[in-house]
Amino acid sequence: MPYNAGKFDVIVIGAGHAGIEAALASARLGCKTLCLTVSMDAVALMPCNPAVGGPGKSHLVREVDALGGQMALSADRTYIQMRILNTGKGPAVRALRCQSDKKLYQAEMLRVLQQQKNLMVKQALVEEIILKGTRVEGVLTQTGALYWAPVVILASGTYLGGRVIIGELNYSSGPSGFFPSNKLPQQMKANGIKMVRFSTGTPPRVDKNTVDFSAMTEQKGDEGELYFSYMSENLNRPNVSCWLTYTNERTHKIIKDNLHKSLLFSGEIKGVGPRYCPSIEDKVVRFADKESHQIFLEPEGLGTAEMYVQGMSTSLPEDVQLEILRSIKGLERVEIIRPGYSIEYDCLVPTQLYPTLEHKQIEGFFSAGQVNGTSGYEEAAAQGIVAGINGARKVLGEEPVTFLRSEAYIGVLIDDLVIKGTNEPYRILTSRAEYRLLLRQDNADLRLTEKGRKIGLVSDERYEKYLKRKKMIEEEMEKLKTHRVKPGDERVKMLLQKKGSAPIKNSITYAELLKRPELDYRDVLEILPKAEDVPKDVLEQVWIELKYEGYIKKQLAQVERFKKMEDKKIPDGISYRDINGLRNEAKEKLEEIRPKTLGQASRISGVSPADISVLMIYLEQKRRNEKKGGVNE
């Protein structure tokens, strides 16, 4: 029999990467928050690769951090290797990626959650979201507990209708053997929520003690104090290696000979998988002329012998997986600890959401993370904090907070999801950000700390640190723009000669000197007075802003144009079907997505520039009509 189990402000379903950020944000903003997880052992689980970050992803992690989120801090405290990616490819796309100790990461997150004021984490399988009309009221668990709250945030990852596929075997399950949630998706569909079925895969984990590393190439992490969070320092993390090996023709033959044993490959299972994460069988078939593919072995933690076999995602039967692995150099005697598998799951069609991640039809119902059709821990965390913030603000009666594409990757991610939708599990990429040069991971704090402070998630300590850094950057910039280099300066002459740079005739500022393409800021450092007093990250910031000033200005001008359209609000309740002159496709799409601004409308696929013109005329017509005194349309 169901029983009353308590009242809360916000209930979060799921304690994965989205649920954690949502629950913490909500609790930190003062809302009495309940976080329900299928299993206490699944809190902050990394069911796929033991890594955080990468291009676009590390941008998200830093943005979540600048807003006062948790992922960066916990990742920093538990990593066992850190690397800087894309070093030579430019400031916008430089990125951090770490190898995490999975168990440590979970333990660290659980500690943070359990110490958080206003937050209660419990184990429960939610079977029903209780609705009253079009409003959310609470949840019902498998064991009959009724929890009440005006805001429910669904962050259930791949657990909804989860089905695991290994070869010809397939069974109902959540990731890593946890329970799936089968009743909830049914109830959601019954309430008119549109769902799609996606799939994703994970490779086998192997026993480190059965691997011959001498036949592989070692890949070390980078040295130095490298952290995601602006707050992390002196954590003294280890630097454990990953290992590189390759598949070969024999591997490919085994795969081809066994393709018929994959349910996924024979097309019997219909979930749409991500193109950026193909299974090894996919790769071998689609790129038949490639003689080998890279395989990375990544440690899953310090306290385990399990290693993640990156590049080997597969849904072939276990015995075939073993045969494949053993055909690879260094893995001749390998033992599998857990086989790879594919998982199919239900997710919400994200165009049903507002940019606050609240559902358009059901008030108080938010969703975040993989259940919104994304993939990746970082994408989940980013949505989690946004849902948490807005859920809490709803309870507190405050205005919602959203992010523009021009201000954060978080904005790009959510705008893509709710305006364009996705037909495969969505992954953030730097190429999705049209103002990429402005949205760097090195300036995430400058972009977002102020906003996070206003929201109420940025601690005094973090805020002061930010203000200090900002001031130093401004001072340093000023210095470079006003201090002048004299033509007679011997050190300068030498430097220019060494770099093959033309000698200066009249005195110029350091800033002007720095803009010469052949000069690096480290060169100018050598001749800059008192540079040693300035932290490296400050110098870097100043250097980027100066060096790429022209391009940054160009992007800022683009942002101005973008904002103009974003500022043009579309009032609620427009009946697009009745607007003459819109093409039918545009009418349908606009009805479905119901954009809030003309900018959003213009990004919907199927809405043409001419449709936008028509919409502008219509809105103006409506405005003038209303001014004239409420004539009906």
CA distance 523 to 543: 11
Based on the shown chain and the rule CB under 8 A, indicate whether residue 91 belongs to the binding site for other proteins.
Answer: yes
Residue carrying the six token digits 């660290």: 108
d(CA 121, CA 216): 43
Q: Which residues fall within 8 angstroms of residue 130, CB to CB, at 6 or more apart?
A: 136, 137, 138, 139, 140, 146, 148
Among 115, 214, 506, 580, binds other proteins (CB under 8 A): 580
The DSSP letter of residue 359 is B
Closer Cβ to other proteins, 341 or 466, answer by number? 341
Residue number with CB closer to other proteins (536 or 624):
624
Paired residues of 394 in beta bridges: none
Residue from 49, 106, 245, 383 binding other proteins (CB under 8 A): 49
Q: Which of 436, 447, 589, 596 binds other proteins (CB under 8 A)?
A: 436
CB of 59 to other proteins, least distance (A): 11
| Residue 473 CA, distance from chain mean position | 28
Query: Closer CB to other proteins, residue 111 or residue 290?
Result: 290
CB of 181 to other proteins, least distance (A): 27
- C-alpha 254/C-alpha 175 separation (Å) is 27
State yes or no: residue 16 binds other proteins (CB under 8 A): no
Tell me, residue by residue from 299 to 338, as one string, x for binding to other proteins by CB under 8 A and - for no binding. -----------xx-x-------------------------
Please name the helix (run of DSSP H) or strand (run of DSSP E) that holds residue 499, with its range, or none.
none
Which of positions 114-153 make contact with other proteins (CB under 8 A)?
none
User: Please, are residues 348 and 373 in contact by the beta-carbon 8 Å criterion?
Assistant: yes
- For 417, phi then psi, to 5°, come to -65, -50
The span of 117-125, 360-368, 493-501, 620-628 binding other proteins (CB under 8 A) equals 620-628
Closest CA to 547 of 440, 406, 429, 433: 440
Which CB atom, from 146 or from 244, has the smaller least distance to other proteins?
244
Of residues 58 and 383, the one with the C-beta less far from other proteins: 58
Question: Minimum distance between the CB of residue 501 and other proteins, rounded to whole angstroms?
Answer: 12
Closest distance of CB 119 from other proteins, Å: 33
Question: What is the smallest separation between the CB atom of 302 and other proteins, expressed in angstroms?
Answer: 22
Nearest residue (CB) to other proteins, 34 versus 295? 295
| Residue 366 or 426 having the CB closest to other proteins | 426
Taking the CA of residue 62 as centre, how many other CA atoms within 13 Å lie in the half-sphere pointing to its CB? 26
Got the DSSP string for 383-416? HHHHHHHHHHHHHHT-------TTT-HHHHHHHI
Contact stretch for other proteins (CB under 8 A) within 4-12, 248-256, 257-265, 621-629: 621-629
Does 102 sit near other proteins (CB under 8 A)?
A: no
Please report how close the Cβ of residue 51 comes to other proteins at its closest, in angstroms.
9
Q: What angle in degrees, to the nearest 10, is found between the helix axes of 460-482 and 444-455?
A: 140
In terms of Cα–Cα distance, which of 19, 28, 22 is closest to 459? 28
Shortest distance in whole angstroms from residue 38 CB to other proteins = 26
The least CB distance from residue 346 to other proteins, in Å, is 24
SS3 500: coil
Q: Residue 596 has what DSSP assignment?
A: S
Phi, psi of 358 (to 5 degrees): -85, 145
Q: Is 437 in the site for other proteins (CB under 8 A)?
A: yes
Residue 277 neighbours by CB under 8 Å, 6+ apart: 200, 201, 313, 375, 425, 427
* 151-185 burial code (b ≥16 CB/10 A, e <16): bbbbbbbbbbbbbbbbbeebeebbbbebebbbbbb
581 binds other proteins, rule: CB under 8 A: yes
Q: CB-based burial of residue 103 (10 Å sphere; 0-12 exposed, 13-18 middle, 19+ buried)?
A: middle
In the complex with other proteins, the residue whose CB is nearer, 118 or 247, is: 247
**Binding footprint of other proteins, residue count (CB under 8 A):** 55
x/- binding map, residues 594-613, to other proteins, per CB under 8 A? -----------x--xxx--x
Nearer to other proteins, 28 or 83 (CB): 83
Nearer to other proteins, 454 or 561 (CB): 561
List the one residue from 16, 53, 56, 350 that touches other proteins (CB under 8 A). 56
Which amino acid appears at position 69 of this protein?
A: G
| Closest distance of CB 552 from other proteins, Å | 10
Question: What's the number of CA atoms in the CB half-sphere (13 Å) around residue 298?
Answer: 27
Please, what is the end-to-end C-alpha distance for the chain in angstroms?
52
Shortest distance in whole angstroms from residue 443 CB to other proteins: 14
Contact yes or no for 168/261 (Cβ under 8 A): yes
- Using a 10 angstrom Cβ sphere, with 0-12 exposed, 13-18 middle and 19 or more buried, the burial of residue 572 is exposed
Binding window for other proteins (CB under 8 A); candidates: 87-95, 130-138, 355-363, 364-372: 87-95
Q: Which is nearer to other proteins, 51 or 263 (CB)?
A: 51
Nearer to other proteins, 171 or 276 (CB): 276
**Helix, coil or strand: residue 171:** strand
Closest Cα to residue 583, out of 561, 557, 607, 619?
A: 607
- Smallest gap, in angstroms, from Cβ of residue 94 to other proteins? 9
- Report the alpha-carbon distance of residue 606 to residue 588 in Å, rounded: 9
| The binder of other proteins chosen from 8, 403, 548, 562 (CB under 8 A) | 548
Q: How far is the CB of 547 from other proteins (least distance, A)?
A: 9
Based on CB atoms, which residue is closest to other proteins, 13 or 284?
284
SS3 52: strand
- Among 148, 354, 463, 551, which residue sits at the site for other proteins (rule: CB under 8 A)? 551
Contacts of 278 (CB under 8 A, 6+ apart): 286, 313
258-297 residues in contact with other proteins (CB under 8 A) are 275-278, 282-283, 286-287, 290, 293-294, 296
Question: Closer to other proteins at the Cβ: 8 or 521?
Answer: 521
C-alpha separations of 590 from 200, 315, 595, 602 in Å:
30, 39, 7, 10
Give the footprint of other proteins on residues 177-236 (CB under 8 A). none
Choices 148-156, 347-355, 502-510, 617-625; region in contact with other proteins by CB under 8 A = 617-625
Instruction: Evaluate whether 534 touches 468 at the Cβ level (below 8 Å).
Output: no
Residue choice 6, 85, 131, 400 for contact with other proteins (CB under 8 A): 85
Binding residues vs other proteins (CB under 8 A):
49, 55-56, 85-86, 88-93, 275-278, 282-283, 286-287, 290, 293-294, 296, 310-311, 313, 429-432, 434, 436-437, 517-518, 548, 551, 554-555, 580-581, 605, 608-610, 613-614, 616-618, 620-621, 624-625, 628
